[in-house]
Amino acid sequence: MLDQGAPPQSPSHPATPSPGLGARLMRRKPVERLVAEGGQGEGGTLRRSLGLWQLTMISIGATLGTGIFVVLGEAVPKAGPAVTLSFVIAGLTALFSALSYAELAGTIPVSGSSYSYAYATMGELIAWICGWCLVLEYGVSVAAVAVGWGEYLNELLDGTIGVTIPAALSAPPGDGGIFNLPALIVVLLAMAFLLGGARESARANTIMVCVKIAALLLFCLIGIQGFRSGNYANFMPLGMAGVSAAGATLFFSYIGFDAASTAGEEAKNAQRDLPRAIMLSLVIVTALYVVVAAVAVGAKPWKRFNDSEAALAQIMKDVTGQTFWGTLLAACAVIAIASVVLTVLYGQTRILFAMSRDGLVPKVFSRVHPRTGTPRANTVIVSAFCGVLAAAIPLGQLADATSIGTLFAFALVNIAVVVLRRTRPHMSRTFRVPLSPVLPALGFALCVWMMGSLSTVTWVVFGVWMAVGLMFYFLYGYRRSRLSAAEPTAPAVTVEK
């Protein structure tokens, strides 16, 4: 019988203290474990079939066209002719973050992009916040680009058969319509390609990217004929505040460069090719954006940009006085913008795949079809979500919401580079950010500055989005995290009688 007055005996096994709330929220996933789990899903594995060319095309496909074909008409009224400067500022902001992405993609070549980088460096809660921002970045941008696709489809139909889709079925509520049917259609078409497999989708994307580059070069050749230097007379009519506001909106145009990082588990040589693909795509895209924007503003007075999502096709018509060239550009844009939808939708599914594998979102998102090697259920669910958003919400609100989610995620990536350099200085890195931590710090500062240029409404939407995300994490992900399941539990204390 136990002597109540005697001091308690030492347990036969020392108790392992259970980690507190703070420790559980800051638990990190080892880099080695992240890499070892690469490609593994529920019931199958992703297939490594993508080389440098395909990865670069994925990044260009996800980036090129969004700002030029879709958002330019909204950005010019904010900055005037200085919209070219806005593109440069947005591009520099993207460049600093791209350097950080390139280093982390070569060090941690997995599908989760910045979500996985944050998990390895700053802990689970920050990783969740980053992942939730990526859902906003990728998922909502798919919807935003799909809205612009519908505008160019109408231009094409009008120029070929003289018929357009009625406004009630080609615009969302708030923009004079009831339901944006074309936006839903292009998302479903992208879904069909993705269900066929990553390699097949990459081939289709490469063809579409070539078409869009040819279309933009054609625009420059024709648009330059209508160039008027007087259109640049009042270069910055709305001041630096206007340039900054347009730059924040146009940053939406650069989000695709990180799409290659979401293909880390389907790349043949991820550590070598991912950094190269990220940097190549950003350089090519920025050069084309600046040139096309300069020609567009030179060919059309900035006050006549009236928030049209089909601005380039209208400029072609105005310069030539013929509908043929505008119709041809609209046809190319229909193909080009579809590639953005395809590649960004691909990135969204792979990020959710990584989060699901970690237990933070339901397992259905990491189930892999054994025949195609793709997360089929994930693709269908994400496509349905993005299709409904595209059909029901106006473009401007979608673009700004995407920008703030992107900027927040990029800011975290810049921090992650510095943290990983300090915690794991001897890790093998196929690419290193020069002048670290100076350039990552500049990237972080630029992201914060551009976030501050967004409207109050956008910040309110972002705050609500984050609140919903944190609620989901604490109700679901916090308890179901695979890292939580792997933590040692305190053994029962036994007392000798």
What would the pLDDT profile of 144-156 be if each residue is shown by its tens digit?
777 777 777 887 8
End-to-end CA distance of the chain: 6
How far is Cα 449 from Cα 276, in angstroms, rounded to an integer?
28
Interval 23-35: pLDDT, tens:
777 888 888 888 8
Residue 420: its H or E element: helix 395-423
Least Cα distance to 284 among 257, 307, 251, 261 occurs for: 257
pLDDT on residue 145? 75
Share the mean pLDDT of the chain.
82
Torsion of CA 377, 378, 384, 388, to 10 degrees: 160
Examine the pLDDT at 17 and tell me if it is beyond 60: no
Q: How far is CA 315 from the centre of its chain?
A: 29
Q: Is 42 helix (H, G, I), strand (E, B) or coil?
A: strand
pLDDT tens track for 276-327: 999 999 889 888 888 988 998 998 888 887 655 567 777 888 888 887 887 8
Between 497 and 320, residue with greater pLDDT: 320
Contacts 24+ apart (CB under 8 A), 156-159: 156/327, 156/330, 156/331, 156/334, 158/327, 159/323, 159/324, 159/326, 159/327, 159/330
**Would you state the pLDDT for residue 497?**
36
pLDDT tens track for 224-260: 988 888 888 888 988 888 888 888 778 767 777 778 8
**pLDDT average, residue stretch 57-62:** 87
Query: Which pLDDT belongs to residue 397?
Result: 61
Residue 252's SS3 state is: helix
Dihedral sign, CA of 465, 466, 472, 475? negative
- The pLDDT confidence band at residue 394, using thresholds 50, 70 and 90, is low
Task: Please write the tens of the pLDDT for every residue from 333-374.
Answer: 788 878 888 888 888 898 899 899 999 999 999 898 888 788
Alpha carbons 359 and 353: distance in angstroms, whole number: 10
149-153, 219-223, 311-315, 488-492: which range is least confident on average? 488-492
Residue 251 near residue 450 (C-beta atoms within 8 A): yes
Q: Which of 81, 130, 405, 111 is nearest to 251 (CA)?
A: 405
Question: What's the pLDDT at 496?
Answer: 39
Residue of 333, 329, 315 whose CA lies nearest to 223: 315
Do 91 and 289 contact (CB within 8 A), yes or no?
yes
Question: How much of the chain exceeds pLDDT 70, in percent?
Answer: 89
**The pLDDT of residue 126:** 92
**What share of the chain has pLDDT > 90, as a percent?**
15
Lookup: tokens for 454: 């967004």
- The Cα–Cα gap between 100 and 96 comes to 7
Q: Which is more confident, 17 or 270?
A: 270
Per-residue pLDDT band for 454 (boundaries 50, 70, 90) equals confident
Which pair of structure tokens corresponds to residue 198?
């990553």
> 65: pLDDT confidence band, cut at 50, 70 and 90?
low
Residue-wise pLDDT tens digits, 119-136: 989 999 999 999 998 888
For residue 437, say if its preceding peptide bond is cis, omega within 30 degrees of 0: yes
Mean pLDDT of 150-179: 78
At residue 487, the pLDDT reads 55
Give the Å distances, CA to CA, from 254 to 164, 198, 243. Answer: 30, 22, 16
> With left for phi above 0 and alpha for psi between -120 and 50, is residue 280 left, alpha or beta?
alpha
pLDDT of residue 112: 79
Q: What is the pLDDT of residue 467?
A: 94
State the Cα–Cα distance between residues 450 and 446, nearest whole angstrom.
Answer: 6
317-320 long-range Cβ contacts below 8 angstroms, 24+ apart: 318/226, 319/222, 319/223, 319/225, 319/226, 320/222, 320/225
Q: Compare 91 and 66 and report the one with higher pLDDT.
A: 91
- The answer to whether the beta carbons of residues 259 and 112 sit under 8 Å apart is no
Instruction: Give residue 356's pLDDT.
Output: 92
453 or 15: whose pLDDT is higher?
A: 453
Distance separating alpha carbons of residues 259 and 317, to the nearest angstrom: 34
